[in-house]
Amino acid sequence: MATTMLPPPELLPDVLPTDRLTKTGKPAPVVREELRRIPNLANARSVVFCWVQIIAVDYLAVRLNHPVTWVLAFLLAGRQFALLNILGHEAAHRLLFSKKSINDRVGRWVLGYPGFTPIDQYRRGHMAHHRDEMGPEEPDTQLYAYYPITPASLRRKLTRDAIGNSGWKNLKGLLRAAKTVRVARVILAVQVVIALVFAALGHPWLYLILWFAPWMTVWRVLNRLRAIAEHGGMTRSSDRRLTTHHVRQGFWARFWIAPYKTGWHLAHHVDIGIPFRHLPALHDELKASGWVPDALEYKSYTALWKALGSRSSAEVVTAPQ
């Protein structure tokens, strides 16, 4: 049974710096300029196609009107929040568009508010996460801590996500904030607009079935699975190999939980100024240098989740359930 998620010292070779990478793994000037270039046009296409996918799911669900189609549409509607939030994450890093005003407007109004996310507030918390992962200012300590846990504990967490308990906590926070915080009221107003669009198209109930309910349930499961695969059970360190997992990226993982190359998360934490399209290239540099050996990489998300839920009940420490 696993007792730690931290890689052993032999998987953390001290091979940096090189002529292409600095001591921390960031690209040296000879590499940095190309990797940090923001591809504005390609990112604009990604934003448009994100919404094309969202609209297509709703359209096909109504058009085909079959029980299996509705179930699939419900699950895909949960995935749409992964699309919105990961592109919103890119905007929070100001890497979506090189012009700051466009980046922030798209991040707020096209991605963040429809996905129930206050981008500016999220940016502040997320930058605290990057400044010192698992440090005293880490906003998501409770999400990442105590792993590995028992299989039963992991099932309980995912069950609470799937039945809406976790979503209800977030919704209550949003409703309370709306009394005093303007951006919370803006988010609720945007949700009303989305509901009115569904109503204007003749299907007002679609807001509940293919927007609100998937956000409360399916999205919670997908978000937890991705988040714990990024940092579950890791520790505070200046060596990002001890703060962040790396998982081999396959099609279905990228489709459901890690779109827009966010699965190359170790590379993202090594250099948060690299746009998502260039993260695989930075990861290749890290591997070529020997800093990320093959054995450091989990072969699949399933293998990592199994390790995260592999603690025996006899080894359990006091932890929130």
Q: Read off the pLDDT of residues 82-113 as tens digits, 9 standing for 90 and up.
A: 999 999 999 999 999 999 999 999 999 999 99
Q: Are 143 and 112 within 8 A, CB to CB?
A: no
Indicate if the pLDDT at residue 2 is higher than 90: no
Q: Which residues of 175-189 are buried (b: 16+ CB within 10 A; e: fewer)?
A: eebbeeeebbebbbe
List the one residue out of 127, 128, 108 whose CA is nearest residue 118. Answer: 108
Cα atoms found within 13 Å of the Cα of residue 106, Cβ hemisphere only: 27
Please state the rounded mean pLDDT for residues 182-210.
97
Per-residue pLDDT tens for 34-64? 999 999 999 999 999 999 999 999 999 999 9
Query: pLDDT band at 3, cuts 50/70/90?
Result: confident
Instruction: Please tell me the predicted confidence (pLDDT) of residue 1.
Output: 56
Supply the pLDDT for residue 319. 42
pLDDT grade for 220, boundaries at 50, 70 and 90? very high
Buried b (16+ CB within 10 A) or exposed e, 2-20: beebebeeeebeeebeeeb
Q: What is the pLDDT of residue 312?
A: 82
Q: What is the pLDDT of residue 158?
A: 98
Q: CA 40, CA 292: separation in Å to the nearest integer?
A: 30
The overall average pLDDT reported for the chain is: 95
Residue that the structure tokens 């296409």 belong to: 45
Q: What is the mean pLDDT of residues 149-166?
A: 97
Q: How many CB atoms lie within 10 A of CB 232?
A: 24
| pLDDT per position as a tens digit, 244-278 | 999 999 999 999 999 999 999 999 999 999 999 99
Report pLDDT for 66. 97
